[in-house]
Structure 1
C-alpha cells in the first residue's frame, strides 16, 4: 500500500483510523512491562470446528495457546448448524486456560472467527434457533433461482458481493419460506463473532468486514436497500445492525466476566472476522499483496484500494472492509481447501501424517491423474458461483496408486487457488497460512502451481494475531509491524515444474469451463423440483 507505515502503523490495514467506541466501551492508557499480564492481548479465533486462544506480548510473541473443538451438526439437504452455547463454552474454556497461565488479567481480549452463515438471536443475544453455518447448503436452489433471473447480478452491482448458499441473503429467504416464526422471534441477524461478543458484553457490534456480505456497500459502509429488495427480504432490514465504527472497543459485562473468569470492564474488540484478520496477522500490507489460507476453505485475498465491480469477470467473491478506510481485501473464498485434501487422504486409507510421504511418492502432474476439487455440498462460490459444482477424478488406471490420487487432489486445490488469486488481482508478494501451510510438500506444490515464492509465517495462529494487532491499535498502542511479522520462511517454486504446471493449469481451466454447463443444468433441475 503506497506510503504504508506497515500493519498497525498509521496507515496499515490494522492501523488506528476511525477509532471509536460502542456500548459500555472503555479505552485503556499505556500498557505494562512485557513481563506483566497488563502488556498482553489474548486473541481468540472462533473457527468453524476449533476455537483457539493465544496470548501475545507487545512484540508479537505467543506466550500461551489453547484450543477446543466444537461440533458441526449436519442434517439432510445440506444442513450444517451449530449451537451458540457450545461455541460460547469453547471460548470460555480457551480464554480461561490461557488467562490462567498469565500472572494477571490480560490488557484486552480480541475476537475474530468464522464469517457468513446466519446467527439469529433475540434482543438478549439468546438463539431463536440453531446457528446456520457458512457451510450450509439448504438454500442452493434459491441461489440457482437468483442466478437464472439475474438477482445475483443485481446484488453484485450494488454491493460487490457474490451470493452463495451459506450467506445471509439466501438463508433469510429460505427461513422466510420455511421458518417464518424464527424471523419473527429474532432481533439480530448477525454472525459468529458478534454473537459471541454480544453475550460477553451485552452490546451488538458487527464489524464491517462481517457485514460486507451480502447487503453492504463496501465503499460507504452502509446497507443497500436495493440489494435487500432484490432478494425479497426487505423486511429483514430491521435485523441488520449498523456496522460498528473501525476500532470500536467494547467491555466485558458482569455475565461475560463470570463466563471467562476475568474482571468486568476488561476491553474487548470484536473483529474483523477471520479472513481479514488472517491477512493482517500474516503481514499483508501493500496494495497487490495477497494471502492464501490453506484451511477448511481455500480463502484467497488481495489488498486493494478500489471497489470497482465493472472489471469483475463474474459476480463472485466480495470486497471486505478493513479497519482502514480506503483499503479493502478483494476476497475469493473457495469452498474446499484442506477439507478436500483430508477427504482424499481418507479415501485411500491415509491420514494427515501421511501427506508428506504421499506427495513425495508421486511426481508433479500425478502421472496424468487429474481432479476437480469441488466437494462441498453447497458447490462453489469463488471465483465463480455454481451450487451444482461437483468433484471428479480422471485419467486413472490400474497402474496408478493412492499417492497419485492424493497428489491429483492437492494439485486441483492449488489450481483453484491460482484461479481465485488471479481473479482477485494478485500482483505482489503472497503469504500463506492455515493448517495446510504446515506441510512443506503441500506449500511447495502450491508455489510451483502459482509460479511464485510463498511466504509462510512461523506463527501458525495468524487469525488470532491479526485480531490482537487490531485490538492494540484500538487501544492506542499500535504494534511495530516489522517485529510482529519478522518470523517466516520462504518456499520457492521448483523451476523444473513450471511448464508442466502451466499446462496443468490451462487444462484445469478448460475442464472447469466444460463442466459448468452440466453443473448448471443439474442445479436448475434441483431448483425446479424444489419449487414444484
Structure 2
C-alpha cells in the first residue's frame, strides 16, 4: 500500500473531486477545512427506455478534467498536494483490452435487472450474500447487473475483458492504474466485507473471474502521478499524487463530521441516504441495512433511497413546466403555504424505483388521495413529504437493527430551503443539525486525501472541522400529522406492488413516446 507520502513544501491544498449522478464538483480545501476554489460541471442521466439509467463515461471524464483545471487555475498548481476522489456508488461498465468502454455507465438508478434481483433473493442465497458482501440484492448492485448482461447480452458479456465502475475508469485515465477502492468494492455485491477479498460465490453467479475486476486497494491508496493526458488536461505536474478515495455515501458521513459512534448523516442530493459510522463490518440478521467501507477500521451502515432531489426536478419540469419563469425556490415557497400533510395527499416518490428499507426491485411513483381541491402547491409539498417519509422508514430500519443514533446531521443541495429542513425534522421527530459546508462528499474526499498524504493525523478531525451551523427542531403539530401518515405511506408500497409488477411488464413492451 502506498500512503502517507511526504508532500512538497508549499503544498497546502487537497482537491476533492466528487463525481455525482448529475454533476462533478471539484473543490480545493486547506487542512483547516476552508474551501478556497470550486467548479462544477453537469452531464445528463440518460433513460433511453423505462428502467435504464445510463451515462456517457467520456462526459464524466471531461467534467473531471475541466473542473480540476479551473480550480488549479484559481489556486496555482504549486499549492496542490494531491487529488482525492468521491464517486456515486454501484456503477458498472464493460472495458475492452485497451481499457476503452464497451458500454455506457450503468448507474445505481438503473433497474433493468429487477427480475434477476428477485430471482436471486428468492433462491435462498440472497440474504447470505447480503450479509457477506454488505450489499443488498437489488437491481442497483453490480453483481445483479452482471447477471443481467450475462443472460441478456451474451456477446457483449463475452467480449468484455474487464468490468469496472466509473471512478475506476477515470482513475485509469487519470493515473494509469486500474484499481477499485474497498469502499466502492464493498458496494458492488462482489466483495466479502469480512475478508476484504472478492467473494467466490458472487463471482460465480456473475459469471466472471477475479482477474476481470480492478485491483482492490484501500481508500487511502496513493497513486504516484498523472498520465500525460491528465497532466495536460488539468494543468498539474505529472508527479501530482492521486488518492483513490471512496464512495460518496461513506464520504458524506466524513464530510459532515458524522464519524463518531451514534452520529448519523443524512444526505439528500439527487438521491438520499441515512448512515452511521461503525468500527467493524456487519449487516443486521434481517438484511435491512447495507454496510460499506470508509477506511480499514471505519465502516458505515444504513440505507439509501433512489429518489431525493430528482423528485422535485421532475415536479418542476413536468408539473410546473408551463410556468417557465418559476424558480425551484419559488415553487417551494409556494408549497410552504400548504399545511403539513398536503391536504391528505401522499406521493410515493419512486420515480427511479426504490432501495431501502425493503430493497425490492419493483416500485413506481404515485400520487394517492388526489382530489380536485388539490393545487400545484399540494403536489409539490407532497413530493417533499414523500421523500422525508421514505427516509423516516430508513431511520426506523436502522433502529430496528440496534444501531445507536443520538444525533443526526444533514447535508445536500435541497437542504438549502427551509421546507426540506422542517419537513425532514418533523417526519423524523428529531432535531437535525446542518453543517455550514454543504459539500459533504467532496470535503470527505479531501479529508481522506489529507490523511493519506500525511497532512492530518486522522479523519477524526472531521468532527471538529465541521461545526453545526443551524439546528432545526421538529414542529410538534407536524410530528403528529406525519405520525398518522407514515403507516399509511408504508402500507401503500405493498398494496400497489401487484399493479406495479404488471405495469412494469407491460411498459417493457410499449414505447415511451412516438
Determine if the TM-score, normalized by the shorter chain, exceeds 0.5: yes
Matched, 1:237 2:210: yes
Give, in angstroms, the shift of residue 508 of structure 1: 1.6
* 2:263 equivalent in structure 1: 289
> Separation in 1 of the partners of 2:59 and 2:318?
30
> Separation in 1 of the partners of 2:382 and 2:278?
32
Matched, 1:329 2:305: no
Matched, 1:148 2:122: yes
> Separation in 2 of the partners of 1:508 and 1:190?
37
Please point out which of 343, 351, 375 is paired with 1:375: 351
> Separation in 2 of the partners of 1:302 and 1:179?
38
* 1:319 equivalent in structure 2: 291
Matched, 1:488 2:469: yes
Matched, 1:221 2:196: yes
- Give the structure-1-normalised TM-score: 0.87
Superposed CA offset, 1:410-462 (max 9, x none): 11110100111222345121111111111122111110000111111221222
- Give the structure-2-normalised TM-score: 0.90
Matched, 1:500 2:500: no
> Separation in 1 of the partners of 2:317 and 2:505?
31
2:27–2:39: 8 Å Cα contact kept in structure 1? yes
* 1:3 equivalent in structure 2: none
**SS state of the match for residue 116, structure 1?**
coil
> Separation in 2 of the partners of 1:389 and 1:246?
33
* 1:414 equivalent in structure 2: 388
Please point out which of 317, 329, 333 is paired with 1:346: 317
Superposed CA offset, 1:451-493 (max 9, x none): 1111112212221100000000001121643552125221111
Give, in angstroms, the shift of residue 354 of structure 1: 2.0
1:30–1:477: 8 Å Cα contact kept in structure 2? no
* 2:424 equivalent in structure 1: 446
Map 1:417-428; keep pairs closer than 5 Å.
417-425=391-399, 427-428=405-406
Matched, 1:458 2:436: yes
Superposed CA offset, 1:310-349 (max 9, x none): 533xx45520011142x32113111111111222333431
**SS state of the match for residue 379, structure 2?**
helix
* 1:514 equivalent in structure 2: 495
Please point out which of 170, 173, 183 is paired with 2:144: 170
Superposed CA offset, 1:142-195 (max 9, x none): 223323333433422432321222321222122212333433343332212121
Matched, 1:135 2:109: yes
Please point out which of 157, 160, 184 is paired with 1:186: 160
* 2:58 equivalent in structure 1: 85
**SS state of the match for residue 126, structure 2?**
helix
Matched, 1:203 2:159: no
2:329–2:417: 8 Å Cα contact kept in structure 1? no
Give, in angstroms, the shift of residue 123 of structure 1: 4.8
Which of structures 1 and 2 has the larger relative contact order (alpha carbons within 8 angstroms, sep 6+)?
Answer: 1
Q: CA separation of 1:395/1:223 partners in 2, compared to 1, >3 Å: closer, same or farther?
A: same
**SS state of the match for residue 164, structure 1?**
coil
Give, in angstroms, the shift of residue 67 of structure 1: 0.7
* 2:250 equivalent in structure 1: 276
Q: CA separation of 1:166/1:236 partners in 2, compared to 1, >3 Å: closer, same or farther?
A: farther
Q: CA separation of 1:433/1:310 partners in 2, compared to 1, >3 Å: closer, same or farther?
A: closer
Q: CA separation of 1:83/1:189 partners in 2, compared to 1, >3 Å: closer, same or farther?
A: same
